[in-house]
Amino acid sequence: ILGTTPEAIDLAEDRGEFARVLHHAGLRQPKNGTASTFEEASLIANDIGYPVLVRPSYVLGGRGMEIVYDEDSLRRYLENATEVSSNRPALIDKFLEDAIEIDVDALFDGKEVYVGGVMEHIEEAGIHSGDSACVLPPVTLGPEVVQRVREATADIARGVGVNGLINIQFALASNILYVIEANPRASRTVPFVSKATGVQLAKAAALMGTGRTIAQLRAEGVLPSKYDGADLPVNTPVAVKEAVLPFARFRTAEGSVVDSLLGPEMRSTGEVMGIDKYFDTAFAKAQAAVGGPLPTSGRLFVSVANKDKRSAVIYVKMFSNLGFEIVSTGGTADVLRRNGIESTVVSKITDAPEGEDSVADWITDGKIDLIFNTPSGGQKARSDGYQIRAAATSIGVPIMTTVSELGAALQAITAQRQYSWSVNSLQVHEKNLREAVLAEDSRG
């Protein structure tokens, strides 16, 4: 094996050993534990406090990972988890709600770290990194946070003993930086980072496996002589990665569309990328590439879980101010009305009177142009949410399932209404990056 040794890989994958690496570096993890039985898992989850993130050991793509909110769900998970055994225990972590997730791809040669890119996820922590949209450079993280991420990346790479690429996922909650996991290898984000920054990270890692250092690669022009992905020039274009999620192509055994609700288990089958001088237009380009342009007018359907109502109101009001007609179900409509937002009330699917169209009918009839639906608890609410998302997926209506995603869509739609854009080839983009000069765009 070239580069990072099997021993170093195991050090990052073994929960106990990796915890010691982080402790030595003074870094924090969400509270966690490992369990092979329900009794062990129950003790750990009650000590940590629900909700918890549960997953098998040594899996890729978040396979088998689930957010668990109570003991009954934990029991069901372990009864169905065929990958869990005494040799491969379940990993149980405190789930950090409303946290910002941060992805880092970096190179380490034993002495020096080169940060390939610091990516800020658009969806909150809890959505698998392969399914979450992300942006590089980060658009809301201050220099102090990025510097903390850089230092933590170097400490982890040194502690694990990496020689080559490493991917690390962090979560920022209440200004505390938590380490979620480290993958001592190339990650699926390496091609995105390489195209966004114009640096061939895989080539650099391969050369490091044969003995080159980061200093030598800088001197040879493989890596930039001055900047890296944590210290990019201020005029660097913004790149947005969006996941391709072709749910309409997949059906359940009963013939229904697979639920489009995202979670900790990866479900995407590809990625697209939008690049622009500003985040709003870059996000709009990414959405156009993945499923067609976002609507700039029409009807927005809103159905929001109680926990999201406070943070969602301002965005819904801004959509209303843009001229969108707001459509909602009863409980959400009441909250919107109290905040001065008028909406057309439509029946929930499970409560629709006979002969009256439900929201699913409105969607399939083409009366809804954009959907904002965050999941709620309770069997009826889950059933309604699934059917709303299935109806949207079946005819290709854009759907947002997190508040942060709705906020990004609002920015993108506003930009689409105000500006046009032109397209450059990737080669021209890379040339502009090398020269640290942006291509002319619609905003000058």
We report the CATH number of the domain holding residue 290 as 3.40.50.1380
- Asked if residue 137 has a cis previous peptide bond (ω within 30° of 0), the answer is yes
Higher pLDDT, 251 or 26: 26
**For residue 124, pLDDT beyond 80:** no
Domain boundary residue among 94, 111, 142?
A: 94
For position 396, what pLDDT does the model report? 81
Specify the pTM: 0.83
Mean pLDDT of 102-114: 96
Give the domain extent around 56: 31-94
**For residue 356, pLDDT beyond 90:** no
Q: Are 177 and 227 within one domain?
A: yes
For position 381, what pLDDT does the model report? 43
| Nearest residue to 135 via CA among 228, 238, 227 | 238
SS3 content of the chain, % helix, strand, coil (to 5): 40, 20, 40
SS3 for 231? coil
Q: How confident is the model at residue 437 (pLDDT cuts 50, 70, 90)?
A: very low
**For residue 224, pLDDT beyond 60:** yes
Q: Are 144 and 73 within one domain?
A: no
Q: Are 147 and 188 within one domain?
A: yes
For position 444, what pLDDT does the model report? 38
For position 423, what pLDDT does the model report? 80
For position 128, what pLDDT does the model report? 62
CB atoms under 10 Å from CB of 37, counted, come to 13
Cα separation values, 286 from 83, 134, 409, Å: 36, 10, 11
Cα separation values, 37 from 47, 76, 81, 86, 375, Å: 16, 12, 11, 8, 29
Crossing angle of helices 15-25/143-160, nearest 10°? 130
Total residues belonging to the chain:
444
Q: How confident is the model at residue 190 (pLDDT cuts 50, 70, 90)?
A: very high
Contact 410, 370 (CB under 8 A): no
Q: Are 208 and 334 within one domain?
A: no
For position 270, what pLDDT does the model report? 83
- Asked if residue 143 has a cis previous peptide bond (ω within 30° of 0), the answer is no
Percent of the chain topping pLDDT 70: 83
Q: Is 408 a domain residue?
A: yes
Contact 108, 164 (CB under 8 A): yes
Q: Are 154 and 65 within one domain?
A: no
Mean pLDDT of 410-433: 86
For position 399, what pLDDT does the model report? 87
In the numeric block, which tokens belong to residue 357?
A: 């169209």
Percent of the chain topping pLDDT 90: 46
